[in-house]
Structure 1
Amino acid sequence: MWLYAETAVLLLLLYGITIHALVDPLTAVASSLTVAGVSLLYKPIYCQFRECCDPKWLHTTAPNLRHSLETNVFGQHLAIDTVVKSINSHFKSKPSKALALSFQGWTGTGKNLVARLIAESLYENKAESGFVHWFSATKHFSRPEKKRYYQDQIRDWIEGNLTLCPNQLFIFDEIEKMPEGVLDTLKPFVDFTVPVRGVEYRKAIYILLGNAGSKYLFDKTYQHFRSGGKRQDLRLRDTEATLWKESYYEQGGLRNSSLIKSHLISAHIPFLPLERSHVISCIHNEINSKNYSVSSHLTEITNQVLAELTFTPANELIYSTTGCKRVYEKVNLVIEDYAEE
């Protein structure tokens, strides 16, 4: 009987820490560490009910990642191929360092979606996993005068979580809006090549989402199109060097960053501007995901949504200026007219 009582106490304690983490996530690690030793004693029981650093909850391979990306992300052959190869390579053998990926391009081109699909492929609890940490510049790092405070908070958060489990995913969104220098806090964590005081740093993944190089990517893609080249013929080597420079010199979190200077970012991944055909795929995908029975009106709905979006250049209207970002809300609005019929 004592075993059930002890287990109940442990679960209640851990439940309390989870609630505390939801209220104040940047100070929850210390509380988690307090019960880490206790939880180890009951790990077989605890891990049956709650997410923990255990193969039941962690996926060290991502066999379905490519299919998931190709099914949900459109017009981004470079991003899909590079992401899949980078993730698979990171887990195939013992990594020499943490994996750091920079997603760069216009808004609405799929950066956030790809990051979420990576999380879903690596954790049983998908993007809601406690091992997935999503930071927004406008929400968490909006005041330049608090740069030192932000650096301390990021350092403590990463260190604390990696102490609990090495298989963590850290995502930093809107990095172009972050105070310069904040992301330099990541350098020692990405650069570690051996465990330090028993903490394994090399299994972690860091994903940086930003728009550095967006204009360059538009010009590059458009010039390639105008010269008669096929979009699929563009290669990572065609863009990576310039994206490296754009990240380093453009205003934002990576400007003059030691991550760039030390070549610690594993890949600068381009998200190309989306053409009309890609936006149409987004529209159809959204309709299918909601199980709307509007097949007889599909063409009409698609054209109505397209009419609500803006395309560029003005004389050719090839690329959506907001990618697929506004597609989802527009589809829902247009669908309402047909749902009422």
Structure 2
Amino acid sequence: MAGARRCFPGSWLSVGVLLGPLLSGVLTLEPVTTAIAIATASVLTGYLSYPRFYCGRLVECCEENAYNSTAFKEDLENKLIGQHLARDVIFRAVTGFMNTENPKKPLALSLHGWTGTGKNFISKIITENIHEKGMSSKFVHLFVSTLHFPHDNLIHLYKDQIQSWIRGNVTNCPRSIFIFDEMDKLHQGLIDTIKPFLDYYEQIDGVSYRKAIFIFLSNAGGEFINRVVLGSTKRREDLELQDLESALSVELFNNKESGFWHSSLIDKNLIDFYVPFLPLEYRHVKECVMAELRHRNLMPNEELATRVANEMTYFPKDTRMFSDKGCKTVTTKLTLHL
């Protein structure tokens, strides 16, 4: 019921104010008219005091228990292409966090890999399974480094703004989600301003941040991930998180272009998972074409998928094993063929 109260504060008081004039006039009506008026008031009271009617049709509410792990798992399995490692790690991380009634700290996920491998896409899937409106939800907040924090000389202002935004939005909805995109283009030291919100504090100035989710997206570490995949004796599908995560965090900490250079978030172990997104192979690109055809309500076309995939560029040049843009330009190239 906490979520319902958050959705409709003072709902009974509001209903009383709304229906007061109606009920006060009932006494002056004839018996039949009086009965109709009372019945109407009862129905109206029922609708207005019912949280789902208010939240679902009138406004978007901060839902405490809207997460469905089965639906989330199906979305990851059916929509995310070629990222078995990220899929498994993120499912376990988000499900464990959402099913914990009183988490000790917010969930912090750092997603890394080359462009077009699915980092933004999986962020979209996460938001859609926690808030009905997904990325359009007023409880999901996207910060793009080059758009929201472009100027070197305004870092102090940005720090104040970030803290104010997080404080205000978590006060409004404990299940707020904050996504920081283009971390590799973020000014050095700026991300450390959110350290207090990611730490193990029960409250800060009367506000608990423990149910919030922070997601960091970055191309930094992509080349490192590619080198590991190319040099590994394991098959791509057999790679596990422990094969990459620890070395990836060190790579980010020591890379001045990562956005996490000497960051206290890494130093104090406040990021829960460093999730590597592996380079996509030719077959994955074909799957992306097929998925886009289905998205456009078109019939799957193997020949068309092959033509589009053949137009993509791959590395290393001698083996053409991995797509150097992932599936990023699939939509544009498919449009040309259609």
Q: Which residue of 2 aligns with 1:198?
A: 206
Equivalent runs, 1:2-13 vs 2, <5 Å = none
Q: 1:220 aligns with which of 225, 228, 233?
A: 228
Question: Quick one: which of 185, 189, 204 aligns to 1:181?
Answer: 189
Q: Structure 2: how far apart are the matches of 1:187 and 1:152? A: 13
Q: Which amino acid aligns with 1:145?
A: N
Q: Give 2:235's match in structure 1, choosing from 230, 238, 244.
A: 230
Deviations along 1:270-323, one digit per CA (max 9) or x if unpaired, are 000001111111110101111124x5xx23311221232101111110100000
**Per the alignment, in what secondary structure is the counterpart of residue 220 of structure 1?**
helix
Match in the other structure for 2:122 = 114
- Which amino acid in the other structure matches residue 91 of structure 2? V
Map 1:1-341; keep pairs closer than 5 Å: 44=51, 46-47=54-55, 49-55=58-64, 59-93=66-100, 94-224=102-232, 227=233, 229-250=234-255, 251-293=257-299, 295=300, 298-335=301-338
Give the partner amino acid of 2:62. C
Give, as a single letter, the amino acid of the residue that structure 1 aligns with 2:292. E
State the secondary structure of the residue aligned to 1:63.
Answer: helix
TM-score by length of 2: 0.82
The number of equivalent residue pairs is 293
Structure label with greater radius of gyration: 2
Change beyond 3 A, Cα 1:43–1:204 = farther
Deviations 1:41-61 (CA, angstroms, capped at 9, x unpaired): x99585351012245xx6244
What's the secondary structure of 2:179's corresponding residue?
strand
Counterparts of 2:326 and 2:122 in 1: how far apart (Å)? Answer: 14
Give the deviation of 1:211 after TM superposition.
1.5
SS of equivalent to 1:268 = strand
CA offset at residue 196 of structure 1? 3.2
Aligned-partner Cα distance in 2 for 1:61–1:155? 30
SS of the residue 1:207 aligns to: strand
Runs of 4+ displaced beyond 2 Å = 2-7, 42-48, 60-63, 195-198
- 1:325/1:5 Cα in 2 relative to 1: closer, same or farther (>3 Å)? farther
**In structure 2, the residue corresponding to 1:64 is in which secondary structure?**
helix
C-alpha distance in 2 between matches for 1:62 and 1:182: 34
Paired AA for residue 219 in structure 1: R
* CA-atom RMSD in angstroms: 2.2
Q: Is this contact kept in 2: 1:212–1:243, CA < 8 A?
A: no
Out of 85-94 and 313-322, give the one that drifted further.
Answer: 85-94
Q: 1:63 to 1:195 in 2, by over 3 A?
A: farther
Query: Relative to 1, partners in 2 of residues 1:60 and 1:70: Cα closer, same or farther, differing over 3 Å?
Result: closer
Once structures 1 and 2 are overlaid, which stretch shifts more, 191-200 or 82-91?
191-200
- What is the identity, as a one-letter code, of the residue corresponding to 1:196? I
Relative to 1, partners in 2 of residues 1:63 and 1:198: Cα closer, same or farther, differing over 3 Å?
Answer: farther
TM-score, normalised via structure 1 length: 0.81
Give how far 1:151 is off. Answer: 0.9
The answer for the alignment partner of 2:36 in structure 1 is: none
Name the aligned partner's letter for residue 201 of structure 1: Y
Partner amino acid, structure 2, of 1:300: E
1:105-155 CA-to-partner distances (Å, cap 9, x unmatched) read 100000000000000111122221111101111111122221111111110
Determine if contact 2:175/2:211 at 8 Å carries over to the other structure: yes
